[in-house]
Amino acid sequence: MKVFGYKNFVLVLVAFTAFIVPACKDDDNNQTQEPDNIEFVIPPGFPTPVYQFTNNAVTNERFELGRKLFYDPILSRDNSISCGSCHLQAGAFAHIDHKVSHGIDDLEGIRNAPGLFNLAWHDNFMWDGGINHIEVQPIGPIENPVEMDETLSNVILKLRASTQYKTLFKAAYGSDSITSQMMLRSMAQFMAVMVSADSKYDKYIRGEAGGTFDAQELNGLNLFRQNCASCHTEPLFTDLSFRNNGLDSIFTLDQGRATITLDPNDEGKFKVPSLRNIEVTFPYMHNGKIKTLDKVLDHYTSGVLPSTTLDPLLVGGIALTTQEKADIVKFLRTLTDNTFLTNPRYSEIH
């Protein structure tokens, strides 16, 4: 049984139990040979998730179906692009090294693909919050003409024609039919189970081995709490609000949240991104315009552009010395969760 970051702890516990209760040896043998059960575990200190898996209880079969769909180009018009083409595990499921994403026929969108983790806590999706439920989210990229350019109904027809999917849907939902609701629920399950909470920072907070901060990281954490945490709030490192952090003064290419609300007061506001795994999700910002973390810090100290919707916290920029910026960047690197980035459970092949 592997439970995210607690793998070692659980293994030790199982070994210990086997050792002290020799009378139950047969039962224990059965227990240790159980398949790797998929579980959704709320990490200590995390709030109550938004997604409750209602009518979509976590099972290995549903999760596996969702994983297979996530990596299957069958979801695109010409069977060339999967969700995993733009969302790469090594980049915490962001599109590493791509300023904006490239979809079908190599067409370019206008936004940078964000990382995918801890989505069960999100009450809205996309940089502008244009989608408000994880179970309908995949329809966005599937039907987007510069992403997968397919229709949901045609995907369902393709899945129904596949004997392999017939078996997988039956195993997951116990029915001979294949519906879009089943498909969307299994994909929601795969994404919602992807929890990242085993970085050096998490170990520091939990007082675990491997969680010792040096003086620079500690100073970086303190500076972060003073200057950044009002928007990038622990433990998710986002408060999930929409804000303008001063990347532009005019918003002709992308109006952000205002695209959805049509409210001029929302122009240039984007969903505050989580900073977990930020070291590997470059380039940064909704338009991928900033390449490195050092340059992100330069933006906050000297690059913030004025506009009527600029967040009041950022008017005039944030005053930080070169050393303080370096300390914050060093702290941000403690948010990299290698357990998550390399967990075979989430990878295409395992």
Binding site for ligand HEC (CB under 6 A): 70, 75, 81, 83, 85-87, 101, 103, 109, 111, 113-114, 116, 119, 122, 125-128, 137-138, 141-142, 147-148, 187, 191, 227-228, 230-232, 243, 245, 247, 270, 272-273, 275, 278, 281, 284-286, 296, 300, 311, 313-314, 318, 328
Q: Please say which residue, 5 or 109, places its beta carbon nearer to ligand HEC.
A: 109
Q: Please say which residue, 38 or 280, places its beta carbon nearer to ligand HEC.
A: 280
* Long-range contact pairs involving 222-227 (C-beta distance under 8 Å, separation at least 24): 223/320, 223/324, 223/327, 223/328, 223/331, 224/328, 224/331, 224/332, 227/300, 227/318, 227/320, 227/328
Largest distance between two CA atoms of the chain: 73
| Type of residue numbered 225 | R
Q: How far is the CB of 113 from ligand HEC (least distance, A)?
A: 4
> Angle 185-187-188 (CA atoms, 0-180°, nearest 5)?
60
Distance CA 130, CA 144 (A): 13
Q: Please say which residue, 38 or 231, places its beta carbon nearer to ligand HEC.
A: 231
Q: How far is the CB of 16 from ligand HEC (least distance, A)?
A: 39
Q: How far is the CB of 23 from ligand HEC (least distance, A)?
A: 48
Q: How far is the CB of 259 from ligand HEC (least distance, A)?
A: 9
Q: Please say which residue, 67 or 203, places its beta carbon nearer to ligand HEC.
A: 67
Q: Please say which residue, 199 or 281, places its beta carbon nearer to ligand HEC.
A: 281
Note if the bond before 145 is cis, omega within 30 degrees: no
The token duo for 201 is 């920072």
Q: How far is the CB of 326 from ligand HEC (least distance, A)?
A: 12
Dihedral of CA atoms 164, 166, 167, 172 in degrees, nearest 10, equals: 120
